[in-house]
Amino acid sequence: MTETTTGPVLHTRFTETFGVDHPIVQGGMQWVGRAELVAAVANAGALGCLTMLTQPTPEALVKEIARTRDLTDRPFGVNFTILPSISPPPYAEYRDAIIESGITIVETAGNAPTEHVEVFRPAGVKVIHKCTSVRHAVKAQELGVDAVSIDGFECAGHPGEDDVTGLVLIPLTAQRLDIPVIASGGIADARGLVAALALGADAVNMGTRFLCTVESPVHHQVKEAIVAATERDTELIFRPLRNTARVASNSVSREVVARLEEGAVFEDVRHLVAGARGKQVYEVGDTDLGIWSVGQSQGLVHDIPTVAELVDRILGEAGDIISGRLAAMTRTSI
Ligand X SMILES: Cc1cc2nc3c(=O)[nH]c(=O)nc-3n(C[C@H](O)[C@H](O)[C@H](O)COP(=O)(O)O)c2cc1C
Part of the chain binding ligand X (CB under 6 A), chosen from 153-161, 223-231, 269-277, 303-311:
153-161
| 156 forms part of the interface with ligand X (CB under 6 A) | yes
Task: Give the nearest distance from C-beta 9 to ligand X in angstroms.
Answer: 23
Closest by CA position to 76, among listed 116, 46, 108, 36: 46
Which residues in the 27-46 window bind ligand X by CB under 6 A?
A: 27-30, 32
Q: Which of 46, 147, 174, 206 binds ligand X (CB under 6 A)?
A: 206
Rounded distance between C-alpha atoms, residue 167 and residue 174, angstroms: 12
Q: Which residues make beta-bridge pairs with 280?
A: none
Task: Give the nearest distance from C-beta 165 to ligand X in angstroms.
Answer: 11
| 208 forms part of the interface with ligand X (CB under 6 A) | yes
Closest by CA position to 24, among listed 197, 210, 207, 203: 203
Which residues in the 112-131 window bind ligand X by CB under 6 A?
A: 130
Rounded distance between C-alpha atoms, residue 179 and residue 89, angstroms: 30
Helices 307-320/35-43 angle, 10° precision: 40
Helix (H, G, I), strand (E, B) or coil at 109: strand
Any idea what DSSP says for residue 330? T
155, 295 contact by CB (below 8 A): yes
Rounded distance between C-alpha atoms, residue 191 and residue 175, angstroms: 21
Task: Give the nearest distance from C-beta 108 to ligand X in angstroms.
Answer: 8
Task: Give the nearest distance from C-beta 54 to ligand X in angstroms.
Answer: 8
Closer by beta carbon to ligand X, 45 or else 295: 295
Q: Report the 10 Å Cβ neighbour count for 45.
A: 22
Which residues in the 63-82 window bind ligand X by CB under 6 A?
A: 79, 81
Closer by beta carbon to ligand X, 191 or else 264: 191
Length of the chain: 334
Task: Give the nearest distance from C-beta 140 to ligand X in angstroms.
Answer: 14
x/- track of binding to ligand X for residues 157-186 (CB under 6 A)? x--------------------------xxx
Q: Which residues make beta-bridge pairs with 236?
A: 246
Closest by CA position to 287, among listed 213, 233, 232: 233
Task: Give the nearest distance from C-beta 117 to ligand X in angstroms.
Answer: 16
Closest by CA position to 12, among listed 200, 277, 165: 200
Q: Which of 55, 132, 253, 297 binds ligand X (CB under 6 A)?
A: 297
- CA dihedral for 86, 239, 272, 26, sign (positive or negative): negative
SS3 sequence, 281-323?
A: HHHHCCCCCCCCECCHHHHHCCCCCCHHHHHHHHHHHHHHHHH
Q: Which of 21, 64, 146, 154 binds ligand X (CB under 6 A)?
A: 154
Task: Give the nearest distance from C-beta 334 to ligand X in angstroms.
Answer: 43
Task: Give the nearest distance from C-beta 28 to ligand X in angstroms.
Answer: 4
Closer by beta carbon to ligand X, 73 or else 115: 115
Instruction: Give me the residues that bind ligand X (CB under 6 A), please.
Output: 27-30, 32, 51, 79, 81, 109, 130, 151, 154-157, 184-187, 205-209, 211, 293-295, 297
